[in-house]
Amino acid sequence: MVLKSSFTILVVATLAVFSSYTPQAEAHSYADCIDWKFNKGGKQDWSDQGGKCTGYARRFPLGKDFGSLDSNWPPRHYLQDRNNPNAAAPCNTAVGATLSESQANPTSKAYGGQFGRMTVTSVGDTLCVRWPAKNHAQLFHPNNKVQINLSKARNAKDITQQELLKNTIANLNFKNCNPGSNEDRRPCGGCFKVPVRAKGTYLLQWRWMLNQGEWYASCADIQIN
């Protein structure tokens, strides 16, 4: 009887130790906002208190907690083909209006209502893009780049990933994040100037390399006036 009780205590204590250990999940980032506006007179703050989003990715669902769309529906991270990412589709073409970042016809159908608004900007303006750290902005993680690719095809169908790579307009610092202890939900971002383009609508791609050859991408349409 004493042996049985001792064994029970040992099992319970062991389970208690394991239940208290909650390792951080390795999740995947995506563009949360394409046109982030900081509060006037404020510092560069990527949190919801530090500014607001005025332009989104295609069919980006509104009303979700920041950084939650890797696990909550609909998930937003799109992993390109690991074996040949530069030949993969530049945008997530998953079936379903709440998942797909494929081009809409007309373009405006991917924005408004349950989705965020399209980015409207001008040549020379500064666009700031925001993303969640998803546990990948810690000191021991490599500071892999975020590519911003902007098509030169005006009012046109989406171009290929190979063509987009000829139109990289910025390489941003993935670890440019707010300080904080919540490594999963830390807001991060970077800014760039809108290059010379004729007036029209263009495909913009946010593309982040997590590991070598492992690329995640988000797509948006931006209207240049």
> Residue 6's pLDDT band (boundaries 50, 70, 90)?
very low
Where do the domains of the chain lie, and which CATH numbers do they carry? 2-224 (2.70.50)
Tens digits of per-residue pLDDT, 116-139? 999 999 999 999 999 999 999 887
- The per-residue pLDDT for 26 is 57
- The per-residue pLDDT for 21 is 33
What distance in Å separates the CA atoms of residue 28 and residue 132, rounded to the nearest whole number? Answer: 9
Give 3-state DSSP helix, strand, coil % of the chain, rounded to 5.
15, 30, 60
**61: number of Cβ within 10 Å:** 16
Nearest-CA neighbor of 77 among 149, 128, 134, 120? 134
- The per-residue pLDDT for 192 is 98
> Residue 1's pLDDT band (boundaries 50, 70, 90)?
very low
- Full-model pTM: 0.87
* CA dist 16 → 3, 67, 104, 113 (Å): 20, 30, 51, 47
Tens digits of per-residue pLDDT, 23-80? 345 579 999 999 999 998 878 999 999 999 999 999 999 999 999 998 888 889 999 9
Tens digits of per-residue pLDDT, 72-121? 888 899 999 999 999 999 999 987 767 899 999 999 999 999 999 999 99
What distance in Å separates the CA atoms of residue 85 and residue 161, rounded to the nearest whole number? Answer: 8
